[in-house]
Amino acid sequence: MIEIIVNDRLGKKVRVKCMPEDTIGDLKKLIAAQTGTKPEKIILKKWYSTYKDHITLDDYEIHDGMNLEMYYS
């Protein structure tokens, strides 16, 4: 189990526990459950890379304690 920190730079900073085998779409659902935002409105980025929903966290090399940026569409 890994913990990922998601920050939207507007005051919401969320810690999410998930498995490395989970997809980005699964992570968005976990974030949505904590923030109350719809998962399809959440965009996850790291610098200029936008993460796609169907790829796993392990494939993106997202590890324990990593920070991601959250944007809204």
In the chain the domains, ranked by start, together with CATH numbers, are 2-72 (3.10.20.90)
For the chain, percent helix, then strand, then coil, each to nearest 5?
A: 20, 35, 40
What pLDDT, on a 0 to 100 scale, did the predictor assign at position 12?
84
Asked whether the beta carbons of 26 and 48 are under 8 A apart, the reply is: no
| 43, two tokens | 């965009």
10, pLDDT greater than 90: no
Asked whether the beta carbons of 16 and 31 are under 8 A apart, the reply is: yes
What pLDDT, on a 0 to 100 scale, did the predictor assign at position 29?
93
**pLDDT digits over 22-46, tens only?**
999 999 999 999 998 999 999 999 9
Burial pattern 50-72, b for ≥16 Cβ within 10 A else e, equals ebeeeebbeebebeeeeebebee
